[in-house]
A and B are shown apart, each in its own frame.
Chain A
Amino acid sequence: MKVPVVTRWGSWRIHQSKAFRRFREDAKDVLAKLALWRKTIHKIGGHFGGGVQSYFLFLRFLVILNLLSFLLMASFVIIPSIVFNTVSFSGSSSIDSLPSVNMTGKEECLRYDPNPEALTVFYTYFLDLLSGTGFMEYSYMFYGFYNNTLVISSGFSYNIPLAYLLTAAFYFLFCLACIIVRSVRCSHRLQLKHTVLVPSGYSMLIFTGWDYGLQGERATQLKQNNLLYQLQVDLEEERIKQKAASLTLTQTVGLYSFRIFLHLVVLAMIVGAFFGIAAATQFSQVSIVGLLLEYLPSIVMTTSNFVVPFMCDQVARFEKYSPSVTIILALLRAVILRLVSLAVLLYSLWKQITCDGDVNTGKCTPCSYNSEQYQCWETRVGQEMYKLTLFDFLITIAMLVLVEFPRRFVVDNCSCKLVQWVGRQEFLVPSNILALVYGQTVVWAGALFCPLLPIINTIKFIIIFYCKKGTLFQNCRPALRTFRSTSSNFFFFLVLLIGLMLASVVLIYSVAIIHPSYDCGPFRFSETMWLVVPNTFHSLSNTTQEFLFYAGSQAFSIPLFIFSWSEGRDKQFLVKQIKEIAALSKEEQEPQQPPRSQAQWNGAPHWGGQHNPAFDPDTGMMTQPRAFFPDEFENPGLHYREE
Chain B
Amino acid sequence: MQIRLYRNCQVEQEGEVWFALVKFVSARNKDESNQRLCRTNRTNNTMGATASKLPKDQLSEYQELTFLTKQEILLAHKRFNELLEREDRQQIGGSRVPMNKILTLPELKSNPFRRRICQVFSTSDLRDGSLSFEDFLDLLSAFSDSATLEIKSHYAFRIFDFDDDGTLDTGDLEKLVNCLTGEMDNTRLTSEEMKQLINNILEESDIDKDGTVNLSEFQHVISRSPDFVSSFKIVL
Contacts and interface: CB of A to CB of B under 8 A. Distances in A.
Interface of A: 197, 199-204, 206-217, 219-221, 224-225, 227-228, 231-232, 235, 238-239, 635, 637-641, 643
19 contacts: A201-B204, A202-B204, A204-B224, A204-B225, A206-B180, A206-B197, A209-B180, A210-B113, A210-B180, A216-B110, A220-B110, A224-B182, A228-B181, A228-B187, A235-B189, A637-B148, A638-B226, A639-B223, A640-B223
Contacts of A640: 223
Interface in B161-175: 173
Contact of A211 (B149, B216, B219, B231): B231
Nearest to B152: A637
A213 B112 contact: no
B224 A197 contact: yes
Nearest to B156: A207
Interface centre among B148, B220, B225, B229 (most CB of A within 10 A): B225
Contact of B220 (A202, A213, A641): A641
Contact of A641 (B112, B181, B197, B216): B216
A212 B142 CA distance: 12
Contacts of A232: 189, 193
Contact of B193 (A207, A213, A214, A235): A235
Given A208-B225, A214-B111, A203 B231 contact: no
B107 interface: yes
A155 B6 CA distance: 83
A214 B113 CA distance: 12
Interface centre among B113, B156, B180, B213 (most CB of A within 10 A): B180
A228 B113 contact: no
Contacts of B19: none
B126 interface: no
Contact of B233 (A213, A224, A225): A213
- Interface size bracket, B side: 35 or more
B176 interface: yes
Nearest to B220: A641
The 8 closest A-B pairs by CB, nearest first: A228-B181, A224-B182, A220-B110, A203-B205, A208-B225, A208-B228, A202-B200, A211-B231
Given A204-B225, A221-B182, A235-B196, 19 more contacts: A202-B200, A206-B177, A206-B180, A207-B218, A207-B225, A208-B221, A208-B231, A210-B112, A212-B143, A212-B232, A213-B234, A216-B110, A219-B110, A220-B111, A224-B182, A228-B182, A231-B177, A235-B193, A643-B220
A204 B235 contact: no
A641 B148 contact: no
B229 A207 contact: no
Contact of A215 (B107, B177, B196, B231): B107
A199 B201 CA distance: 10
Interface string B187-207: 101000100110011001101
B129 to A, nearest CB: 18
Contacts of B16: none
B222 interface: yes
Contacts of A203: 200-201, 204-205, 213, 221
